[in-house]
A and B are shown apart, each in its own frame.
Chain A
Amino acid sequence: MPESTYLDLHVHSTDGSDDAGGSVEGYLKWIAARRAHGQRIDGFVVTEHRRFDPDRDYSALAAKYDTVVLRGVEVETDIGHVLVFGVTPEFLAKFDLTSVSLPYDDVFRTAWETGGIAVGAHAGRPRIGCVEHVDDRGVTLEGVRVIEALNGGSNDYENGRAFDLAEARGLRVVGASDSHFVSALGRCLTRFDRDIKTMDDLVATLRDPDASYAPMYLDDTNDGVEARPRPSGAAVTLTSGSGQGTLSDHEIEYDRSVIGKEILVGKFDVTREMIADYCAALDQTNPLYTDEAFAAAGPNKGIVAPPGIVQSMRMDPPPDAKVKFGNNTIMAGQLHQYYLPVRPGDTIEGFAQVKEVYEKTGRSGRMVFVVRRTRFANQHGEDVAAMEQTMAHREVQAKAE
């Protein structure tokens, strides 16, 4: 009976992915908790978006938690995102990893020729997976041998499409969580029927056409649990819930002079009525925010506002980076940081800046992200909260009736 190894091949961390919330040590603690519940995860591969730091070393952490921690990278190509395992100096020298449209055939060929292997990530997802590019543009998948068919961030329909493609084209398949947050780690993973401790072990196994490995769900790693069948792209009628756009070749233009410059955007007087209205809109019934007598006896010695209320303070628009891209803007993320309670009678001033502008590709195709940070200070000059909003500019088409 050969050794088996359960690895999550696609994990993002706060060390290198701007949209991740999980730290590497957080993932390791989570694995320890999962093992205590009888689930099997032997390790994972950190695959940051468009970034590979050759000097980063997780060996001490890996040893501390008795877990395999390897490193690859997720790059962006003209057929979607691609995981690269066995990243060599030659590979890094050839490609600008920050590009959002690397030529896929060159990436797959170079990875192979330099001793590594490339794997098509979340293959069934719109835009950023290869299935749609095969269906819509007749891409031949030159040099593609393995795709990630079971992805923890994709729905069953998307994963089913990836399995269908793999079967039609004779591709090998792996599973991975694509986790950005700790609790998602291992949701999907790959069982290898051999012992894998190093990146060389992993690459050799994925390159070996006779090696035995298969995607699976974490829940199915418990003893005695029967593995679920793979999802089907035909059996599910679910469609993507998001509006999909088209890729654009426009150059990104924006006003770089506003980056990092903080300006006063307004002053807001907090009232009991405002707090009550905010609570009513959210069915928020916590008496710390709504009941004068209860709150007076509580830790804040009076009513305070729910933490999120700063986002409802109407102030002037923040500085405008004047991004010239796309025909639509959506909110992609929010970071709230809370320092002190906000009370009725407070006067809150907002100071806003454009923190950064960057681009990447997602389900909606190419997107430009603008991160704006607003700091909120009370009448005593104390910072009570800060908020960052990430807005994504993208190109969309109208939805058919």
Chain B
Amino acid sequence: MIEVSGLTKQFDVRTVLNCLNLSIDTGEIFGLLGPNGAGKTTTIRLLTMLTKPSGGIIRINGLSFEKNEQQIKSLLGIVPQHLNLDIELTARENLELHGRLHGIPTAERNRRITELLEFVELTDRSGDMVQTFSGGMKRRLMIARALLHRPKVLFLDEPTVGLDPQVRRRIWELVRHLASEGMTVLLTTHYIEEAQALCQRVAIIDKGHLIALDTPQTLCQGLGEYVVDWEENEQRHNKFFPNRVDAASYSASLTTTVIIRRSNLEDVFVELTGRKVVER
């Protein structure tokens, strides 16, 4: 569904994305993982035509960006990181504006708006001005808006940032539901558990470079499925093992308190970059 080859973006002399190659299948939930400033949002902006690439090729559904701008735009649904709803309109009017911009006929548009407001549980607030909504409600409305024209690809840029755990899990459920219906989902996140819980494959980006790409399980197994954490001389240490038995026998040899746990994408990131995902 999405083919990216040699995608590069430079702002003056600063390279924010360097020769990215990706191929994302139809119906896949694909995650871009990395710290702030890694190049995740730039990648989304490039794939949604909000930013022009300095180099490389992008194809969506077999269509190249150069000649099929309007056609490609109608295939994409985008939920940006920032809240960009029109605060001078009601929830329903925001959806109506989007539907009109995408040329959805009136009867279908009205039916679809009603369905989606129900889907994101905002039916009873449909006539309220968006500025009275909480952050979670706005995020849900943005998802409804992105889905209104039945896009084939949904881009979610940090979809759960700043939301409480309950709302975050509701959005995860929505994303899984959409992918099960055949929609391709590309999401960026710096929440490790989000990438691990949702994504079938993950690309880890750091300083504009792709440093790993695989399923979360394979990336973790590459390090070792189990990890032993311990502290010594006020320094934290860890060691990876292919199974729990090996991890347990190693911990027995240590004289300090240890924690045995499963490895995760944070470990992968730290091993590959020497830094944590949430660090600058």
Pair from one complex: no
